[in-house]
A = this chain, B = another copy of it.
Amino acid sequence: MTRTIKLAVIPGDGIGPEVIAEANRVLDAVLDGSDVALERTEFKLGADRFLETGETLPEIEQAAIAEHDAILFGAVGGVPGDPRLAGANIERGLLLKLRFDFDHYANVRPCTLFPGVESTLREPGTVDFVVVREGTEGPYAGNGGRLRSGTMAEVATEVSVNTALGIERVVRYAFETAQHRERRKLTWVHKTNVLVHSGATWQRIVEAVAVEYPEIAVDYLHVDAATIAMVQDPGRFDVIVTDNLFGDILTDLAGAIGGGIGLAASGNINPDGAFPSMFEPVHGSAPDIAGKQQADPTAAILSAAIMLDHLSLTAAAERVRDAVRADLAGRGAERRSTAEIGDRIIAHLSV
């Protein structure tokens, strides 16, 4: 009996379509001959779509996407400074809207320095941690506004909204993640000495949940100190849990030290299953190299692997990761096109 998985694909802008094409080829290859069939629907959304139709995420399309089992997302965003995009905010109107409306509260971003990959660090040591970034609140809430706009008396506010509900569920998810890893270590990151209100809520909840996980070693770092630790001693991290903004910053840094943002994968997970989870490379649309087959599709392919995990296709996920690992081990300084990298990873799949 065939299991059919309904996959919504949002290639997006810039290099998005190129890297998603490779992720799709890898998915087809790894599921070839299995009892799993992918039924894809492509949604043309992003800056290009906005420029053509003025639409960012029509309700009817959002409803259609919601009917799928998972979402594979490329990257969105037009050329920086394009005046035609001045009024638009594709990031808030599309990417963050999906994360918020589909309650992707666990934004999972692994960071592994694979053998053969050169880190930007002199002595990286073993790098193998995962950041669980809160995905649905905090400074990303979108609250705030501007008063006396355009004058010298202008005041702009941004309200970070943090709820016990929102923090508790992502902290619990992070503890569960740590529970299933070898080192069983959790580092929570905040700025409790300055952001005292939300810091106190985070601290109370981490301490409360920690009681339920006595096997897990818990420590805390201020976000500024966490960046130092990440570049001086990344091996100290196992699972990191943090808020939406700190997670955004730390995972780009993690991408850089883990071999570059071209390898950084992520899953926007709705663990409750009420909405489809969404899988996307951490990188952006990089319009400067779009269409040139220069983008590295590895981050998109590894994101597809996280998707396979999420769909309980664990063996397939492992095969993809093994193929990526094999490819990376032999890549060296060779320059290959986006499709050539896809080819090579697919070739390693069949071994």
Q: A residues near B, CB below 8 A?
A: 77, 80, 89, 91-92, 96, 118-123, 139-140, 142, 144-146, 150-165, 168, 191, 193-198, 200-201, 204, 220, 223-225, 227-228, 231-232, 245, 248-249, 251-253, 255-257, 260-261
Contacts and interface: CB of A to CB of B under 8 A. Distances in A.
15 contacts: A118-B122, A120-B122, A121-B122, A139-B139, A139-B160, A146-B197, A154-B201, A156-B162, A156-B197, A156-B200, A157-B160, A158-B160, A191-B248, A231-B256, A249-B249
Contacts of A194: 91-92, 96, 139-140, 245, 248
Contact of A164 (B152, B159, B255): B152
Contact of A152 (B151, B165, B252): B165
Contact of A157 (B159, B228, B252): B159
Nearest to A233: B120
Residue from A197, A198, A220 whose CB has the most chain B CB atoms within 10 Å: A197
A179 to B, nearest CB: 22
B201 A156 contact: yes
A145 B256 contact: no
Contact of A153 (B77, B89, B164): B164
Contacts of A260: 232
Contact of A91 (B118, B158, B193, B261): B193
Contacts of A154: 163-164, 201, 204
A168 B155 CA distance: 12
A310 to B, nearest CB: 24
A312 B123 CA distance: 41
Nearest to A81: B220
A253 B256 contact: no
A224 B160 CA distance: 18
A53 B164 CA distance: 35
Count identical subunits in the complex: 2
A204 B157 contact: no
Contact of A196 (B89, B122, B159): B89
Nearest to A261: B228
A151 B167 CA distance: 12
B122 A201 contact: no
A252 to B, nearest CB: 4
The 7 A-B residue pairs whose C-beta atoms are closest, nearest first, are A224-B252, A154-B164, A227-B253, A156-B201, A158-B160, A91-B193, A156-B198
A159 B156 contact: no
Given A146-B201, A159-B160, 12 more contacts: A92-B194, A120-B122, A120-B231, A139-B158, A144-B160, A146-B200, A150-B204, A154-B201, A155-B164, A156-B163, A156-B200, A194-B245
A225 B251 CA distance: 10
A21 B152 CA distance: 44
A257 B144 CA distance: 35
Contacts of A145: 197
Contacts of A197: 144-146, 156-158
Nearest to A282: B224
